[in-house]
Chains A and B, each alone.
Chain A
Amino acid sequence: MNVRAKIAGDLIVINKYIVEIENSKKEISVLSSHEVELEGKKLTVNLSKLSDYYYLLKIENKIFEIIVAKTGEDNYTLNIEGRIFEIGVKTRLKDIAEEYLKNKQKETRQDELKAPMPGLIINLKKNIGDGVVLGESLIVLEAMKMENDLKSPASGIIKEILVKKGEAVEKNQRLLVIE
């Protein structure tokens, strides 16, 4: 079963996936739920989902127990045999679309301040509509018993503030938007 879609004049097989492992990209084709093709090799595989956080993967005759430590949209932190890896998964199609959009978006910019680590919002120093300059301290985030100054990633006007003082935030959560 090969599903094909036409984009930008190219024929792209959409059962091809891109797996990003700690900054390097790997391409892989899923031929069926029991067969994949990786670097020119066809492999018999089986993935059983035992729970949302616990999977059993069989590749030929080798068994891997895979624990999901953390999960986001198409992102996984995996624990395999006591080792931990961060991966991102998307279809080849989406990868191409993203590259295209990235190039297009370069002109009209909107910057976001994201939480670099989970923590507690101790102080918000600005209000919506305030002008800010690059590097100016905007938010104080308490994490690991230390207060961290979060600085503005750009100069501009604060368009949105998405958190409140005293709120607990996750890593990479959007905190505010600067235009």
Chain B
Amino acid sequence: MINKVLICNRGEIAVRIIKACRECGIISAAVYSEADKGALHVRVADEAYCIGPASAKESYLNHEVLIETAKNIGADAIHPGYGFLSENSTFIKKVEESGIIFIGPSSKSVLLMGDKTAARRLMKNSGVPIVPGTVEPVSSVEGIKAVIAEIGLPVMLKASAGGGGKGMRKISDESEIDDAFDRARNEALKAFGNDDVYVEKYIEDPKHIEVQILGDKYGNYVHVFERECSIQRRHQKIIEESPSPSINEKIREEMTSAAVSAAKACGYYNAGTIEFLYDKSGEFYFLEMNTRIQVEHPVTEMISGIDLVKEQLRIASGERLSVDQCDLSISGHSIECRVYAEDPDNNFAPSLGKIQHHRLPSGAGIRVDRGIDFQSEVSIYYDPLLAKLITWGINREEARQRIVRAIREYQIGGVKTNLHFCRWILTHSDFINGTFDINFLQKKSDLIESGDWKKSDINEFEEAITIFGALIKFQNEQLKPMANECKGKNRWRLDRD
């Protein structure tokens, strides 16, 4: 059994991991940069170690310092959270070689799944449906033309080493091939140090549906159903839910068993996610595998009752999975929205500052996973994810009404958040009816950029806002009556003279 875990992350996921450790009787050791001295994960951990300056490169991404710290403090395991070093096979290999347990998959599985063309080959050979296209990188414009002749336009060029939308280019017309090929390769080289790109058929307005799996070190696998994460802005998920409102029992059966096959194919252990695109004709295609705990894991926990982070701890310490597939079922519905310190009214620029007011929503079926508290600093150095608001309901509509209610209750002062933007999406008829795809926000970009999406809110609250504005100004003026009386003269100097 693991005795002490060094948590190599920050923010809400570090706090989430600390909670799981505490329930398992494991000592939690947090790391923090100089900018994170007062961060919530530092406040709630059992131990905390400063590992360097604010810049992530010198702190949360510093392999040597992290492994050295783990050794020095007697930690027998490292939890990477998500992002940062969680899918860095070089780091994982170093951890493995140091004799410390990595709470995640083997460096081999990560390396395999990080190479998108190798992963596509492996999936194809294991009978998991992949998006039509190449399973090897393409090396020339002629090569791309040959693929297009076979699968037709439009297609996507994607970076083999990629992720996060970088090194991705859509080709709708043959004339765009040269330019797209150059730019995709340049972007890939800059972002990943590798300019390999491959071709995939462009899937028109698909949904993003992913399957949560768990595998232990003895070859046992279960899936914990699916999540739908189609509401995205520039490839960043904003709202997620489980189960998906878009698939029936038959598709669920096919998709989840494909996901388990995918995990088996790479000898995977730990919690993992297999992402699929689901198109209008009802076909689904393997997109990629995420070899870590996901941001959106709570919706799966809410409908299944499984604590995924505790399962990660069990698996890493060499125990068997705590459940069989037949123990698992979907209960109710869960929705999550990501609370970012960003400004939807200013092109989603980060909103920085100190949290000056913080009141959490509460009541039946509400969960908040957060990395902030009163007086926390939101800085430019890190991802602006403050918290995740999650609700559970007996059905989708109850979960939805509950999250809208919770947004009304969730008060954050000192920084601006995107909660009102989430509320707009959650009350939109397309969301209510489940008739949305991954391009939902892109299709609404005119409405969003012009600010027109807020019009009905303004009408509803115009009177209250106007009265507030006038009264606060009036009260402030009452507090400094002298200022007006001594206009042009300095009283203090007058007295001295």
How many angstroms from the CA of A87 to the CA of B463 in the assembled complex? 12
Contacts of B460 in A (CB 8 A): 83
Give the shortest distance, in Å, between A77 (CB) and chain B (any CB).
5
Binds A, one of B66-74, B213-221, B280-288, B415-423: B415-423
Contacts of B411 in A (CB 8 A): 54, 65, 67, 79
Partner of B468, one of A51, A55, A90: A55
Known contacts A26-B466, A82-B407, A82-B420; A67 and B472 CB within 8 A of each other: no
Known contacts A53-B356, A89-B470; A81 and B408 CB within 8 A of each other: yes
Partner of B413, one of A21, A68, A91: A68
Binds A, one of B1-9, B16-24, B105-113, B343-351: B343-351
How many angstroms from the CA of A109 to the CA of B290 in the assembled complex? 55
- Say whether B349 contacts A69, CB under 8 Å: no
- Say whether A168 contacts B380, CB under 8 Å: yes
- Say whether A76 contacts B415, CB under 8 Å: no
From DSSP, what is the main secondary structure of chain B's interface residues? helix
How many angstroms from the CA of A76 to the CA of B356 in the assembled complex? 14
Partner of A120, one of B380, B410, B464: B380
Size of interface on A: residues with Cβ below 8 Å to B: 57
- In the complex, whether A163 has a CB less than 8 A from a CB of chain B is no
Per-position 1/0 for B309-351, Cβ under 8 A of A: 0000000000000000000000000000000000001111111
- In the complex, whether B51 has a CB less than 8 A from a CB of chain A is no
Contacts of B492 in A (CB 8 A): none
Contacts of B415 in A (CB 8 A): 69-70
Size of interface on B: residues with Cβ below 8 Å to A: 49
Contacts of A19 in B (CB 8 A): 465-466, 469-470
- Say whether A70 contacts B470, CB under 8 Å: no
With A22-B345, A53-B414, A70-B414 given, can you name 9 additional A-B contacts, CB distance below 8 Å? A19-B466, A21-B462, A26-B462, A54-B357, A67-B357, A78-B465, A79-B413, A84-B420, A91-B473
How many angstroms from the CA of A86 to the CA of B457 in the assembled complex? 12
Contacts of A76 in B (CB 8 A): 469, 472
- Say whether B467 contacts A43, CB under 8 Å: yes
Known contacts A26-B462, A77-B416, A83-B461; A17 and B357 CB within 8 A of each other: no
Per-position 1/0 for A124-166, Cβ under 8 A of B: 0000000000000000000110000000000000000000000
